[in-house]
Structure 1
Amino acid sequence: MTNQDLPRIADLLHTAASQATPLVGDIDDASLDAPTPCSEYDVRALLNHLFGVVVNFQALAAKQPADFSELPDRVAEADWRDRFAAEAGKLVAAWAEPGADEGTSGAMGLPARTVGSMVLLDLTVHAWDLARATGQPFEPDPAVVDGLVEEVEKMAPMAREMNVFGDSVELPEGASAFERLLATTGRDPRAWAA
């Protein structure tokens, strides 16, 4: 399949953001200290990480450098839910710009489509992490999952080397495409069943 045959990253991000934004908006302050399936983060830390991803990948869409070294506590701000929604909208707009998913992007010189898939994956998988941690339902759009499967398989070895993904989790027959995607990132969807 060529890049022309694939759905645009901006379209997939629009779908993923439209699912993640209301979920984030419904997180209660009482849940901020709860553990998440992303073991190094509680809900507050994961929200701040996701904020950083959403903001920095706007720059990467424009082929600009991104700075992940500092993650301010955006959740400490009173309007953090509205700010997340606004930044997610800016992310979608940045990747909708002509040429955003073409060429290379980022300090590692990765294909722009791979970089766009990284933020799509974060938005989707961390939405699931947050949903499980806060008792909310979440099932990503099948088009988003389909748009991620091939890229995630390609990036998995490098992501494991960099400790971004854990070891792949074995799943039983009949696991859904999204459960398999989660397992590739090192998450066990059965351990965090809704």
Structure 2
Amino acid sequence: MNEIVERYQRRADAFEANVEAVAAEQWDNPSPCEKWSAGDVVDHIIAMHGYMLRPIGRSAPERTEDRLADFRAARKAVQDLLDDPAVAGQEVETPTGKMTFAAQIDGVVSDDLPLHGWDLARATGQDETIDPVDVERLWASTTATPAELMEQYRTPGAFGPDVEVFGAEVSVPADASLQDRLLGLIGRQP
């Protein structure tokens, strides 16, 4: 369990640093996620934290006009529950089956943080480097995803209205960095 908590904290720290670095005039910048601005990327991450709380009967903190404060509040809500072993180990229903609350956080919102951190960095001119440990882990889990589930991830609306987990795969050179190959696999133009 500690590994999941530590991974989430590290990734959330990095994402929070990206959010802190966004200048007021950059929130409307287009992101690599088609149809999303830099602000939309952060709004998505905040909303996903709220979605993760629903299976255990909790709700997301109220939104404000301050995305950084909202991310911090959403992060704290999830972190507090991860820090409670009884809640972290509780089984929840998810779109991909039963798992513990901690495993759901690890496989969904925690995995989203480095990828959408890259989106936010690209949209706002920040350092786009994803932690190599995360790149390797995400590459391994993504390439191990069964083809049928991968197809579902690429199908808009398969997990709810306006939800598209991955875009169409983007071809990258065979000798590209693992980060670029991962980004291409999930539908980003590195």
Q: Shorter-chain TM-score category?
A: 0.7 to 0.9
Aligned to 1:26: 21
Gaps of 5+ in 2: 159-163
Distance of aligned partners of 1:179 and 1:160 in 2 relative to their CA distance in 1, 3 Å threshold: same
TM-score with structure 1 setting the length: 0.74
Which structure has more relative contact order (CA 8 Å, sep 6+)? It is 1
How many Å separate the matches in 2 of 1:83 and 1:67?
Answer: 13
Distance of aligned partners of 1:85 and 1:114 in 2 relative to their CA distance in 1, 3 Å threshold: closer
1:101 shift after superposition:
6.2
Q: What stretches of structure 1 move > 6 A for 4+ residues in a row?
A: none
2:138 corresponds, among 145, 148, 155, to 148
Greater Cα shift, 152-161 or 40-49: 152-161
Distance of aligned partners of 1:45 and 1:185 in 2 relative to their CA distance in 1, 3 Å threshold: same
Q: Alignment length, in residue pairs?
A: 175
What letter is aligned with 1:128? W
Aligned to 2:37: 42
How many Å separate the matches in 2 of 1:156 and 1:101?
Answer: 27
Gaps of 5+ in 1: 190-194
Distance of aligned partners of 1:172 and 1:98 in 2 relative to their CA distance in 1, 3 Å threshold: same
1:124 aligns with 2:111: no
Aligned to 2:177: 176
How many Å separate the matches in 2 of 1:64 and 1:107?
Answer: 14
Contact 2:50-2:59 at 8 Å conserved across structures: no
Aligned to 1:85: 72
How many Å separate the matches in 2 of 1:139 and 1:97?
Answer: 32
How many Å separate the matches in 1 of 2:134 and 2:89?
Answer: 16
1:132 shift after superposition:
0.5
Deviations 1:100-137 (A, max 9, x none): 36744425535343552121222111111111111111
Deviations 1:21-46 (A, max 9, x none): 01101111101111100012112222
Aligned to 2:167: 166
1:16 shift after superposition:
0.8
Distance of aligned partners of 1:140 and 1:89 in 2 relative to their CA distance in 1, 3 Å threshold: farther
How many Å separate the matches in 1 of 2:57 and 2:142?
Answer: 23
Percent identity over the alignment is 27
1:111 aligns with 2:103: no
